[in-house]
Amino acid sequence: MVSTGLSTVTRSGAVHSASEGTASVAPGREEQPHAQAPDPAPRRRPAPPPGGYGGPLLYCQAMAAAVLIVILVLVIAGLGVAVARRPRKERIDPFTVQDPWRTMVRRAQSTATRFDDAVRKTKAGPLRERLSDIGRRVTVAVDEAWAVAKRGHALDDAVEQLKAGDTRRRLAELEQAGGGDPAITQSVRNQLQSAERLAGVAQDARTRLQRLNASLEETVARAIELSVSAPDSGALQPLGADLDSVVDELESLRLALEETASGP
């Protein structure tokens, strides 16, 4: 090996540079490059969905909220329709009917007011609860009496329009004259019979309503008496049965009048 100031030559002819510290390739020989492994292909990440990875979750939450709102709207709308379809209780106005119907309705209202006052003055407990139950039936009785009075008032109007008095006089004249057309006489006779039937129905309704009003007043008077003297609510049991009977008769009378108004 021959050493120089800047490089060293080996026997094989290779020259090493002292300054670079690297080996040089002898003339006539080429340095073989080191084989390097190819770089792996980089993995591609999937593109995020629109709105980022939180988008689907937010979308589902929004849809759930929208469905809930729709359900609530439908429920509220259904309740509104149910309330709208529920018939309102008619206000009782006795001054829209003529006497004697007006007087009978006012008497029924006065009876119910006295009973309500007695219930309010009764000490809280089973007795008062039972009186409250009876009071609801008293209210039903007043409503039925009002319905009967309205139909009775309508019957009186119909009888007045038929002018039963004038029809009766005309029929008498036709029958006295004689020799006229029998068909005309029979037609006038039929008109008079219709007026008399309606007048009879109205009179029967007045009589029955007066009697049922009296029965209602009697039942309420007994209930007021027992409210301050009865030992327990069991003493009111007969009154409940009597009041149910009054309500049933009033309802039956109302239905009969409705059938008369509807005609055959």
Whether residue 100 is preceded by a cis peptide bond, meaning omega within 30 degrees of 0, is yes
d(CA 141, CA 96): 19
CATH class (in words) of the domain with range 100-151+199-262: mainly alpha
- Residue 13 confidence (pLDDT) above 50: no
pLDDT at 33 over 80: no
Mean pLDDT of 54-62: 60
Residue type, 1: M
Angle between helices 101-121 and 126-162 (to 10 degrees): 170
The residue ranges of every structural domain in the chain are 100-151+199-262
Strand partners, 7: 17
Q: What is the residue type of 62?
A: A
pLDDT at 55: 55
Contacts of 242 (CB under 8 A, 6+ apart): 215, 219
Q: What is the pLDDT of residue 12?
A: 45
Q: What is the pLDDT of residues 196-232, one digit of tens each?
A: 988 999 999 999 999 999 999 998 998 888 878 777 7
pLDDT digits (tens, 9 = 90+) for 156-200: 998 888 888 888 898 888 888 876 788 888 898 898 888 898 899
> What pLDDT, in 10s, does the model give residues 59-106?
566 666 666 676 766 666 555 544 445 456 678 899 999 999 999 999
Nearest to 139 by CA among 191, 92, 173: 92
Give the helix/strand (H/E) hosting 88: none
Q: Does position 140 have pLDDT exceeding 90, yes or no? A: yes
pTM exceeds 0.85: no
Q: Which three-class secondary structure state does DSSP give residue 248? A: helix
Residue pair 244/136 in contact by the 8 Å Cβ criterion: no
